[in-house]
Amino acid sequence: MAGRLRRRPELIQRAVTWLAPMGTVRLVPTTGPETAGRLASAAVANGATTVVAFGGDGTVNEVANGMIGTRAVLGILPGGTANVLCCEMGLGTNPEKAARKLVSECQAVRIAVGKMTRPDGFSRHFLAMAGVGLDAVVVDEVSPGIKKAVGKVAYWIAGFAMFGRRLPQFDFRHGGGESRRSFVLVSRVRNYGGDLEIAKKVSLLEECFETVAFAGVNSLRYLPYLAGVGVGLVGKIPGVAVAPVERMTCGPANGDRVPVQLDGELAGHLPAEFAVVRDALTLLIPGKYVARAKEQRWITSPIL
């Protein structure tokens, strides 16, 4: 269902041609939601040493969840709406060019991932980010029809439709304290939605999250926040707190129903705990990204 592949299915065969130097390539189509993880897990169990996820961030998330804890290597090709991870790593949005980079420029790197756990026993890993509150509300309200027609612009339309509305509130707790919030970004990447940077000092090579926590009951409060994001100074605006965190919990306040998104897909509602899982996954990452992340190692002592 990834937008680009639905419109241009021939991209799959072109990508396979570029991946040929990696070995024998077997195409395995997903058959619906929540099937990619099982397919990836079965492929690894049957001896696959590399699994390439070709689709959107939701597909990548499913495939990764089927590979967590194994030694198999995950590669990513952009085929969806935002392609956050591909943009983050510098693979770009062109799947053929990304396939060439997987073969010629990438190295297998063992990374940490995030994990959300709810009291009802539900748990799920995420590679790029979790969003609690406002952005999950936006994800929930995006019209599938508009998304198919205009891509990620649909998220901006849904977001601006939120202005003037009351936002659900929740309590954000970690080793550094507790605060009442309406949106917390729990990020492993700097890229947000393919267009913006909200978290500024984190990378896939870090073993913690960068959390960016926003306060405000009315969504109009987010106008200065959006301006701060645009100029790269969001952390200096009153009402915003930025911190490196390894483990945190969020619980609903005032009886509000607060949604959560993981890698751009809805994942239920609060309460939930978010934690870093070390040594979780082997990912194909361009060498330039690895070198830059090691050189700009900002986070050294996360708040436990």
C-alpha to C-alpha distance for 256 and 278, rounded to whole angstroms: 32
Higher-confidence position of 283 and 161: 283
C-alpha to C-alpha distance for 210 and 219, rounded to whole angstroms: 23
Instruction: State whether the Cα torsion 138-141-143-144 is positive or negative.
Output: positive
Q: Is residue 73 located within the same domain as residue 122?
A: no
Higher-confidence position of 94 and 150: 94
C-alpha to C-alpha distance for 137 and 284, rounded to whole angstroms: 32
Q: Is residue 63 located within the same domain as residue 81?
A: yes
Q: Is residue 269 located within the same domain as residue 136?
A: yes
Output DSSP code: residue 218: B
Q: Is residue 137 located within the same domain as residue 272?
A: yes
Tokens found for residue 252 = 């609903």
| Res 301: pLDDT | 47
Q: Is residue 188 part of a domain?
A: yes
Q: Is residue 55 part of a domain?
A: yes
* Integer CA distances (angstroms), 88 to 121, 190, 210, in order: 31, 7, 15
Q: What is the CATH number of the domain that holds 81?
A: 3.40.50.10330
Count of structural domains, the chain: 2
Q: Is residue 77 located within the same domain as residue 225?
A: no
Cβ-based neighbours of 282, under 8 Å, separated by 6 or more: 71, 72, 73, 74, 108, 109, 110, 111
Q: Is residue 121 part of a domain?
A: yes
| Res 78: pLDDT | 93
Q: Is residue 140 located within the same domain as residue 71?
A: no
Q: Is residue 265 located within the same domain as residue 125?
A: yes
| Res 144: pLDDT | 67
Q: Is residue 95 located within the same domain as residue 134?
A: no
Q: Is residue 301 part of a domain?
A: no
C-alpha to C-alpha distance for 161 and 155, rounded to whole angstroms: 10
User: What value does the mean pLDDT take over residues 40-50?
Assistant: 96
User: What value does the mean pLDDT take over residues 130-139?
Assistant: 94
Q: What is the CATH number of the domain that holds 241?
A: 2.60.200.40
| Res 183: pLDDT | 97
Per-residue pLDDT reduced to its tens digit, 71-106 = 999 999 998 878 999 999 999 999 999 999 999 999
| Res 238: pLDDT | 94
Confidence (pTM): 0.92
Q: Is residue 18 located within the same domain as residue 131?
A: no
Residue-range definition of the domain harbouring residue 12? 3-111+280-292
User: What value does the mean pLDDT take over residues 200-213?
Assistant: 94
| Res 285: pLDDT | 97
Q: Is residue 298 part of a domain?
A: no
User: What value does the mean pLDDT take over residues 60-69?
Assistant: 97
Q: Is residue 227 located within the same domain as residue 187?
A: yes
Q: Is residue 64 part of a domain?
A: yes
Q: Is residue 99 part of a domain?
A: yes
Q: Is residue 168 located within the same domain as residue 78?
A: no
Q: Is residue 129 located within the same domain as residue 79?
A: no
Which long-range contacts does 249-254 make (Cβ < 8 Å, 24+ apart)? 249/173, 249/174, 249/273, 249/274, 250/132, 250/170, 250/171, 250/172, 250/173, 250/181, 250/184, 250/274, 251/170, 251/171, 251/173, 252/168, 252/169, 252/170, 252/171, 253/169, 253/170, 253/171, 253/180, 254/169
Output DSSP code: residue 159: H
C-alpha to C-alpha distance for 138 and 163, rounded to whole angstroms: 11
User: What value does the mean pLDDT take over residues 252-261?
Assistant: 96
